[in-house]
Amino acid sequence: MYQFSLKLIQAFIYWGWLATIPLYAGSEPNTPITSLGTINSKPIIETNSIVATVKSIEIGQQRSLFLEAEKFALAGNLEQVEELKNQLQNYPLLPYLDAVLYSNYPQKFSQQQIESFIQSQPDLTRQTGLLDNWLHSLADKNAWDTFQKYMSPEDALDLQCIYLDHVKINTEQKSFQTWRNQVASIWLTPYSLPSECTPLFNAWKKYGFLTADLVWQRFNAALNNGNSKFAHYLILLLPHKEQYKAQKILGYWKKRGKLPKVKSLLDKKRLSPQLALSLIQRYIWSNPEQASNNYQQLIDILPINSDVIQRTVALSLATSDQPQALNWLQQAELNQSEPVLRHWHLSILLKHHQWNDIEQLLENYLDSGFNHNSYQYWLGRAYLENDKIIKAQKQWKALAQIRDYYGFLASVALDQSVSLNEEKIPMMEQELQQFELIPQIKRATEWFALGRFLEARREWSNYIQKIHGESRLIAAQYAFKIGWYDRAILLLANRPFQNYLFLRFPIPYMKLYKKSKVPASYLMAITRQESIFQIDAYSSTGARGLMQLMPFVAEIQAHKNRLTYYGKQSLYEPETNLSLGSALLDQLLQSFNDDYLLSTAAYNAGSTAVSNWMKTKDELQADIWIETIPYGETRDYIKQVLSYQLIYSIMLEENFSILNSLIKPMFTGKVHNAMGSDTKISDAE
């Protein structure tokens, strides 16, 4: 078994190259590993030297002075800012004070001063919003020559509108047409535009340039972007006699269970082919069985997209467990062999334990060049179920050397240690010292130390996007050293850096994790999957923090468990987030009788969905049940969490592996007994 000693890690941190780096205080300053992952502005002494102590005190004072100066800058107090700037001459974030002043109070400075700053600090100019604010100021002063000099096509729509409204119409016909097209391009944006665009559009409309065709284009674009409210508003801009047609389309969009009879609208170019296909697909997913019966009518609407329609019907039938799904999938695969079609073809066969068909199907896939690790594993399973034990062992032997979910399954099936394939991190002390002197990195580091993560990521990304190869490994090591784990993980996500597990699987917040009854390896696996340890992670659904908690869920957990919770912003505090997230997982485990598989699925998809899937749980073995979960996101989520938990259980020397407990009993007495016999894999030749 692969061993990753926690004591060795700690010794490595204390006595290896990590000991030479300035650290920043976090929530657990006494925990060696955790002290790497810190977000506070209070510095930890980097070494035992007096020089380091003095430097730490100096940087702490500078941070306090900078924050004070920033407040004065935002208030426009120039005298106080200048006084504090004299004490911040070597501080990396000093230029930001000027950026704040120039951005918010341009009237207090000469144009030459601002232009000089913009030219000397182009990155800061964009990151701080200085350029946008200054361009607005120039427009207010009618300084159009300077405005045009600094404006670029990438600028915000409000600035583009302001400029186009200024230039309006030239006498030259060519410029006239150009202006008309430029305004139309902006107007076709599929959502509401800034108020700065209103005068421009009013002038454009007065020239008669807003046509019904343009309104139809924007209406189609709005619905394609899921913006039905804005599409409803656009209907009012259509000629009265055409409004009912748009209402009809909007009705199909909202009542997705109704067969969309839109052929005539498509022919008259009132409905775009893209939106027509979207309406058809929404209908199919709402009524898979009905859609399969109306298949020919759907094809007649949009013959050019017949393959896509067939594929959608097949997948909707498969995910809703309809009996005719297999036939549809087989037909769809004849026209387009996509991974998702192949997955559901295999999934249905697995659900019904059709092992002979599975063996034949996967051998055909592999012979056709579709060499996915899942096919390798399931072919081995088919061999096993068909009593071809030696072929199963041979099939899994190479797969077991791969560090992923299916490789781990193969290892468990063969009753052998998992292969983590970890590589030793090369020593790059000199390169690291040079890296941390780069201005953008110094600024990113300071923002990170101040807990200003958005500003930190802007500086970091601005530099990182320009580097490649070994430089990215150096950057990842540096990010890890200062406890910026999410940046390190992202940098090492692809080859050739994937085997540096020490950097890719950090162990922060150990004291917080150990407060819970839930195993630390499981909590860390969930955290890594949810946020890659990004403290201020925020999802489009409103989930926040390390364990991606919804505020209302956090509030419930806090009330139930008498835990600290001061509102949604407190979810960005590691201690609050991890305590509430751990409590939620503990509750799920209790609800599902300590079933880690169901609890993991529920953490991602919700308990209601999992309760529906539980109907097949007792009928199917664990690996099959995972493979047949209807939600692709949840399938992948579970596979990742189980893999991460196994890795963390090894790193933490926990005698607990969810994957082992789920999978090993399936093979005991069949494969494992055969492994102990005199039969050799070579006998299968």
- Return the bridge partners of 43, or none: 24
Kindly state the DSSP code that residue 43 receives in the 8-state scheme: E
pLDDT over threshold 60, residue 48? no
Report field, pTM of the whole predicted structure over 0.85 = yes
C-alpha distances (whole Å) from 68 to each of 65, 95, 117 are 5, 15, 22
pLDDT over threshold 80, residue 53? no
What is d(CA 106, CA 133) in angstroms, rounded to the nearest whole number? 9
Quick one: residue 239, left, alpha or beta (phi over 0 = left, psi -120 to 50 = alpha)? beta
* H helices present in 236-338, as ranges: 240-254, 263-267, 273-286, 288-293, 295-301, 306-319, 325-335
Contact 127, 459 (CB under 8 A): yes
- The pLDDT score that the predictor gives to residue 668 is 75
Confidence grade of residue 172 (pLDDT, cut at 50, 70, 90) = low
Where does residue 610 rank: exposed (0-12), middle (13-18), buried (19+ CB within 10 A)?
A: buried
CB atoms near residue 683 (< 10 Å)? 10
- The pLDDT score that the predictor gives to residue 5 is 44
- Return the bridge partners of 544, or none: 538, 549
CA 265, 269, 271, 277 dihedral sign is: positive
- The pLDDT score that the predictor gives to residue 174 is 59
Pair of tokens at residue 612: 């529906």
Measured in whole angstroms, the distance separating CA 657 from the mean position of its chain's CA atoms is 26
Confidence grade of residue 673 (pLDDT, cut at 50, 70, 90) = low
pLDDT over threshold 70, residue 1? no
Q: What is the pLDDT of residues 174-226, one digit of tens each?
A: 578 889 999 999 999 999 999 999 999 999 999 999 999 999 999 999 999 99
pLDDT over threshold 80, residue 426? yes
Q: At what angle do helices 273-286 and 240-254 cross, to 10 degrees?
A: 40
What is d(CA 478, CA 471) in angstroms, rounded to the nearest whole number? 11
What is d(CA 6, CA 432) in angstroms, rounded to the nearest whole number? 24
Contact 279, 262 (CB under 8 A): yes
Confidence grade of residue 16 (pLDDT, cut at 50, 70, 90) = very low
- The pLDDT score that the predictor gives to residue 55 is 56
Contact 73, 101 (CB under 8 A): yes
Q: Which amino acid is at 538?
A: Y
Whether the bond between 496 and the residue before it is cis, its omega within 30 degrees of 0, is yes
Indicate the SS3 state at residue 82.
helix
Pair of tokens at residue 153: 């096509």
Q: At what angle do helices 306-319 and 273-286 cross, to 10 degrees?
A: 20
Indicate the SS3 state at residue 549.
strand
Range with lowest mean pLDDT among 422-431, 479-488, 559-568, 613-622: 613-622
CA-wise closest residue to 45 among 16, 23, 70: 23
What is d(CA 23, CA 13) in angstroms, rounded to the nearest whole number? 12
- The pLDDT score that the predictor gives to residue 256 is 87
What secondary structure does DSSP assign to 352-386, as a single string?
TT-HHHHHHHHHHHHHTT---HHHHHHHHHHHHHT
Contact 206, 199 (CB under 8 A): no
Q: What is the pLDDT of residues 380-401, one digit of tens each?
A: 999 999 999 999 999 999 999 9
Where does residue 332 rank: exposed (0-12), middle (13-18), buried (19+ CB within 10 A)?
A: buried
What is d(CA 618, CA 639) in angstroms, rounded to the nearest whole number? 19
- The pLDDT score that the predictor gives to residue 669 is 66
Q: What is the pLDDT of residues 498-541, one digit of tens each?
A: 999 999 999 999 999 999 999 999 999 999 999 999 999 999 99
Measured in whole angstroms, the distance separating CA 601 from the mean position of its chain's CA atoms is 18
Pair of tokens at residue 180: 């008309």
Mean pLDDT of the chain: 88
Q: What is the pLDDT of residues 145-155, one digit of tens each?
A: 999 999 887 77
What is d(CA 291, CA 280) in angstroms, rounded to the nearest whole number? 9
Confidence grade of residue 542 (pLDDT, cut at 50, 70, 90) = very high
Pair of tokens at residue 130: 């200085």
Measured in whole angstroms, the distance separating CA 128 from the mean position of its chain's CA atoms is 24
Q: What is the pLDDT of residues 100-144, one digit of tens each?
A: 999 999 999 999 999 999 999 988 888 888 999 999 999 999 999
Q: Which amino acid is at 518?
A: V
Indicate the SS3 state at residue 583.
helix
- Return the bridge partners of 549, or none: 544
- The pLDDT score that the predictor gives to residue 57 is 57
What is d(CA 343, CA 340) in angstroms, rounded to the nearest whole number? 5
Q: At what angle do helices 228-235 and 212-224 cross, to 10 degrees?
A: 160
Contact 575, 28 (CB under 8 A): no
- The pLDDT score that the predictor gives to residue 618 is 80
- The pLDDT score that the predictor gives to residue 37 is 31
What secondary structure does DSSP assign to 641-664, as a single string?
HHHHHHHHHHHTT-S--HHHHHHH
- The pLDDT score that the predictor gives to residue 272 is 93
Dihedral (Cα; 459, 465, 471, 473), 10-degree rounding:
80
Contact 604, 637 (CB under 8 A): yes
